[in-house]
Structure 1
Amino acid sequence: MQRRQLRDLTCSAIGLGCMGLSQGYGASGADESVATIGRALDLGVTMIDTAQSYGSGHNEELVGRAIAGRRDDVVLATKVGIVREPDGVRLDAHPDRLPAYCGASLRRLGVDVIDLYYLHRVDPRVPLAESVGALAGLVAAGKVRELGVCELGADQLRQAVAVHPIAAVQCEWSLLWREPEDDVLPAARELGVGVVPYSPLGRGMLTGALPAGDFVPGDFRHGDPRFAGPALDHNLVRAGALRRWAEERGLTAGQLALAWLLAQGPDVVPIPGTRSPLRVAENAAAAAVTLSAEDLAWLDREVPRDAWAGDRRSFAAHGLRRGGAG
């Protein structure tokens, strides 16, 4: 497994996003989830990504169970700022409450320190600098090693870095959704911030891992314009062409999508999610794939960013209300 650097953290080039083990894609078994994380660690995947909001703490408990006795094998990332409750989801990044949230995450994870602690979303009621300042206090207290942020624009990223060094910015980025290339990616590189793409496989679109019928209750792709109506039909045709091209090269579409992201720069660490130990192995193998200049040119020509239908932004704007925040 290749290694990459996010400030002072050395991690695997490909990580494991754990959200889907607790929410977002329907029910999942705890034993299978723990086995999936364990398989990732066996393969040298060290970046394990969770959040306090995923399953209202359930996801952190699963991760804690999976990494017990293997702490040295893990670069552990979790997030704060989204609170999931029985009556809905809300934002809370108030400086007075962040230390308690961190303490609860540490207990659920069964660790003494979090390697990478993200501000999951900006709380509109709290100045960003105050939230980041409180997180910086957790670094000073030895509870956190590095700070990250999620879904920030370029100007917000500059504000955060002005308060404390930021190791990584997390955003949705894949062949299906390339908007971060406009502003977030240039700003991150200007500031020395690594980029951690979530949903790097297009939430199953790029791999064809979509249900045969309607989405099950709790699947947060329901309502995403890219996964409905004529836009879905259009996107499936594009994804099918991508899969056929990958197969001609002895790759799966998922491996191609991950290799494309890795080729965008040494500061990129995608975190595909899966519930399957077999899929973990497939994803991890993408770190050994090198795309040629001709391959990359073909992808830019045949699968350009405007090849896809549907606007992710209209879905993301309602993600918290609908319970679909990643």
Structure 2
Amino acid sequence: MKTRKLGPELEVSAIGLGCMGMSEFYSGRDEEEAIATLHHALDLGVTFLDTADMYGPHTNEQLIGKALKNRRDQAVIATKFGVIRTADGGFGGINGKPEYVHQACDASLQRLGIEVIDLYYLHRVDPTVPIEETVGAMAELVKQGKVRYIGLSEAAPETLRRGHSVHPITALQTEYSLWNREPEDEIIPTVRELKIGFVPYSPLGRGFLSGAIQSLDDLAEDDYRRHSPRFQGENFDRNLEVVEQVKAIAQEKEVTASQLAIAWLLAKGHDIVPIPGTKRRQYLEENVAAVKIELTFAELKRIEAVAPQGVAAGDRYPDMNSVNR
């Protein structure tokens, strides 16, 4: 496995592992297979593991803590805070207040069973709290030795600049893929100007770019993607047409559509570290193999021609108010 740097210092595997689906949002739970997948990721050199306190809620951090009990030194653990979950699993808003930053960090450390979090993100920007105050509290965690590096997620360029002026931001996590190329306009130029690493989540468009989802019938009743605008009605059909074109290019290159989508992201810059999510060893191996795929300039242009910016039909979320803030 190749490595890349987020910011000036944090070295991670070139491809990370998104762990959310092991505990929530996608149907099916298999703790034994999830732990085996986490262990296999480490064996393959995938050191960068991504979780959040709201996944589960809370149970995803506990799962990772259990899996890494004797392998902590092999992993770079990234977790997130700020999205509040209620006792019944509902959503209770966003909290970026300084006192909550400390409470959330202590709770995550306990669930993960570790002494320090390698990369601690603000999951969503709280519009009621100046970003300087939230980042200031995160900086205190660094001084206390509870966190090594800090990051933001779905933050707008100006928010990123303001936060970075308080304490160096190591990474920005934002959705980026052939399905969502909007970060290319302002976000990626900003992180490169500030020397901040970029971590694309949902690099496979929530699995859509894999080509495995041909209709809503392929998704279980409790799969949250059934409520995503891009998976609805005419949007689904239009997006499927794009995926079929990506699949055709992948077949010519004798790789999978997923591998092509990840390889495209890796080719966009050495400061980019995608974190495709999976809960099965089979798909982990497929995703990791993308690091070996080389794309020519002509191939990149052809891929981008079939998936230009704005090609996806429908918004990323039913409510877009909490992103790019």
Aligned to 1:22: 23
Task: Give the deviation of 1:244 after TM superposition.
Answer: 2.0
CA RMSD of aligned residues (A): 1.6
| Structure 1 Cα separation of the partners of residues 4 and 282 of structure 2 | 23
User: What whole-Å deviation, never above 9, does each CA across 1:7-37 have from its counterpart, x for those lacking one?
Assistant: 3211000000011111111231111111111
1:119-158 correspondence runs (5 A): 119-158=122-161
Please tell me whether residue 118 in structure 1 is matched to residue 121 in structure 2: yes
User: What whole-Å deviation, never above 9, does each CA across 1:278-324 have from its counterpart, x for those lacking one?
Assistant: 11011111111111111111112232224332222x5242779xxxx
Aligned to 1:68: 69
Aligned to 2:11: 10
Aligned to 1:47: 48
Please tell me whether residue 37 in structure 1 is matched to residue 53 in structure 2: no
User: What whole-Å deviation, never above 9, does each CA across 1:37-76 have from its counterpart, x for those lacking one?
Assistant: 1111111000000001101210000111111111121011
Q: Note if contact 2:242-2:307 (Cα within 8 Å) is conserved in structure 1.
A: yes
Distance 1:261 1:32, change over 3 A: same
Residue ranges of structure 2 left out of the alignment (5+ in a row) = none
SS at match of 1:122: coil
Identity of aligned residues (%): 49
Distance 1:137 1:303, change over 3 A: same
SS at match of 2:173: strand
User: What amino acid sits opposite 1:14 in the alignment?
Assistant: I
Say which of 228, 231, 236 aligns to 2:240: 236
User: What amino acid sits opposite 2:78 in the alignment?
Assistant: A
Aligned to 1:308: 312
Aligned to 1:198: 201
| Structure 2 Cα separation of the partners of residues 212 and 132 of structure 1 | 40
Please tell me whether residue 174 in structure 1 is matched to residue 177 in structure 2: yes
| Structure 1 Cα separation of the partners of residues 110 and 172 of structure 2 | 25
Aligned to 1:291: 295
SS at match of 2:227: coil
| Structure 2 Cα separation of the partners of residues 118 and 186 of structure 1 | 20
Task: Give the deviation of 1:127 after TM superposition.
Answer: 1.2
SS at match of 1:79: strand
* TM-score between both structures, scaled by the size of structure 1: 0.94
User: What whole-Å deviation, never above 9, does each CA across 1:240-282 have from its counterpart, x for those lacking one?
Assistant: 1211210221111111000000111000000000111011011
User: What whole-Å deviation, never above 9, does each CA across 1:218-252 have from its counterpart, x for those lacking one?
Assistant: 42222322111111111112201211210221111
User: What amino acid sits opposite 1:229 in the alignment?
Assistant: G
User: What amino acid sits opposite 1:299 in the alignment?
Assistant: I
Residue ranges of structure 1 left out of the alignment (5+ in a row) = 321-326
* TM-score between both structures, scaled by the size of structure 2: 0.94
